[in-house]
Amino acid sequence: MTPPAPGKLKIYLGYAAGVGKTYQMLTDAQDLHRQGHDIVIGYFEPHGRADTIAKTEGLEIIPRRKVEYRGAVFEEMDTDAILARRPEICVVDEFPHTNVPGSARIKRWEDVTVLLEAGIGVLTTMNIQHLESLNDQVWQISGVRVRETIPDWVVKQAEQVVMVDVTPGALVNRLLRGVVYSQEKSKKALENFFQESTLGALRELAMRQTAHESESHHVESDIAESDRNAAISHGTALETEPVVAPTDRFERILILVTADPSSAMVIRRAKRVADYLHADCMAVAIQRPTGGNKVAAGEREAIERHLNFARNLHIDARLLDAESAGDDPAKALVEFARVNGVTQLFLARPRGTGLKGMLQASIEQRIVWLSRDMQVTIVADRTRCA
């Protein structure tokens, strides 16, 4: 039996709660239902909004699964029941949701992947702040460290990303309407003022991201088309070399992963740049001989964690032995980069400050010094300074 063709994924992208993602999704679901498509609701979060709830009318809802965890009962999407029902299209609210422990899969996007693989089309919703590669920037803008993130490659799989847009002013109005004003009106206004600029910045990010997703779609179809054309003009089968603008193939990015927490930031940023440049992306950590002491063991664990984080973002990540380069980690990295045709290195900012930072050559400085034949990007700390 041949597996079914994978279902198509459509994402309704917003920049805050209340912009109308779910409403828009359900409006489309109603249209599809009317057109005769077999569509069901797999998961829907009503949030007590009457007009959104009204939009589910007439649509079949797959009951949620009850999960007990630490004495409390939680409700999750019943992926198995949806698979058994096998609809053509399934509506799944809140794409970035994390399932309660004990569920078959950790993340809802993994459940969605299962549905797609079974040939079921999925409509889902998310906000821009949940995109992994923007995590640091979102923190910088909003002061919120978003924990529930979705790897960029998962979003990239979507057939369509639609932006659900309202203006921040209208959104704030929506939130305030019916809400009693406190006496501290001015204080609240000031808070809202900051809030509105934050919303504006997130909204801009969502617009740019939607444009980017749309662009990568037709860039890819352009590449496919030029492949086809090349095949035709050569009169050969599609085994010919893919035709890609040569400059696109030139870039290969290598990330230096360390035990330092800033590694996550460097990985996200480098991957984002690589995606935009259509560049390859790799990551390495340099293993130093340890002699089995405790600090080194903790470091090793952190490095392993960071490498796994990179792998989850679909980056080729490995551990490199420094011994080959005479225990010189900077040299080991640069040599590895040369052998692998790397054009850009991505590093964290040197940590050392004060006198030590001034007087001691950091590994980062040594790398900049040694790698004079490639570009080296020192990734900024995207921190919030109070």
Partner 1 sequence: MTPVTRRRTPEELLLQVQAEEAQDSRGRLKIFLGYASGVGKSFRMLDEGRRRAERGQDVAVGAIQLPATQDVEELLKKLEVIPLRTMDGARVMDVPAILKRQPRVCLVDGLAWDNPSGSMNPSRWQDVRQLLDAGIAVIASINIQYIAELQGQVERITGKHVTQTVPQSFLYGTDEIVVVDAPPEMCFGHSGQGVAGDPTRLAHQLSELREIALLFAADVVDHQLETYLKQNGVAASYGTQERILVCITPRTSAKAMIESGKRNAERFHGELIAAHVRQGRLDDQAKAALDRNLQMAREAGAHVEILEGDDPIEAILEFARERGITQIFMGHGLDTQWWHRWTGGPVGRLIRGAQGIDVRVFPQ
Site residues (vs partner 1, CB under 8 A): 10, 137, 140-141, 143, 160, 162-167, 169-170, 193-194, 196-197, 200-201, 203-205, 207-208, 210-212, 214-215, 217-218, 221, 247, 269, 273, 276-277, 344, 349-350, 357-361, 364-365, 368-369, 371-386
For 218, list phi and psi in degrees, rounded to 5.
Answer: -80, -20
3-state secondary structure 89-145: EEEECCCCCECCCCCCCCEHHHHHHHHHHCCCEEEEEEEHHHEHHHHHHHHHHHCCC
Kindly state the smallest distance separating residue 102's Cβ from partner 1, in Å: 37
Q: How far is the CB of 169 from partner 1 (least distance, A)?
A: 6
Tokens at residue 301, please? Answer: 């664990």
Q: How far is the CB of 201 from partner 1 (least distance, A)?
A: 4
Q: Which is nearer to partner 1, 17 or 245 (CB)?
A: 245
Cβ closer to partner 1: 68 or 215?
Answer: 215
Quick one: tokens of 258?
């360390």
| Cβ neighbour number for residue 50 with a 10 Å cutoff | 8
Nearer to partner 1, 82 or 274 (CB): 274
99: its two tokens: 């399932």
Through-space distance between the first and last CA atoms of the chain, rounded to whole angstroms = 60
Here the tokens at position 203 are: 């909204």
Pick the closer one to partner 1 by CB: 26 or 62.
26
- Residue 261 CB, shortest distance to partner 1, in Å, is 17
Rounded to a whole number of angstroms, the minimum distance from the CB of residue 358 to partner 1 is 6
Decide whether 221 or 340 has the Cβ nearer to partner 1.
221
Beta carbon of residue 87, minimum distance to partner 1 (angstroms, whole number): 20
- Minimum Å gap between C-beta 300 and partner 1 is 27
Nearer to partner 1, 8 or 300 (CB): 8
**Whole-number minimum distance, CB 166 to partner 1, in Å?**
7
Q: CA-CA-CA-CA torsion for 352, 286, 278, 115, nearest 10 degrees? A: -110
Six token digits for residue 72: 């409390």
Q: Which is nearer to partner 1, 69 or 369 (CB)?
A: 369
Minimum distance of partner 1 from residue 137's CB (angstroms): 6
Interatomic CA distance for residues 309 and 59, integer angstroms: 39
Q: Which of 191, 327 has the CB closer to partner 1?
A: 191
89-92/160-163 β-pairing: unpaired
For the chain, what's the residue count?
A: 386
User: CA–CA separation, 217 vs 239, rounded Å?
Assistant: 22
Distance CA 378, CA 386 (A): 23
Please report the sign of the dihedral spanned by the C-alpha atoms of residue 191, residue 193, residue 196, residue 201.
negative
Count H helices, E strands: the chain?
14, 13
Residue placing its CB nearer to partner 1 in the complex, 69 or 194? 194
Residue 12: which of 108, 109, 92, 118 has the closest Cα? Answer: 92
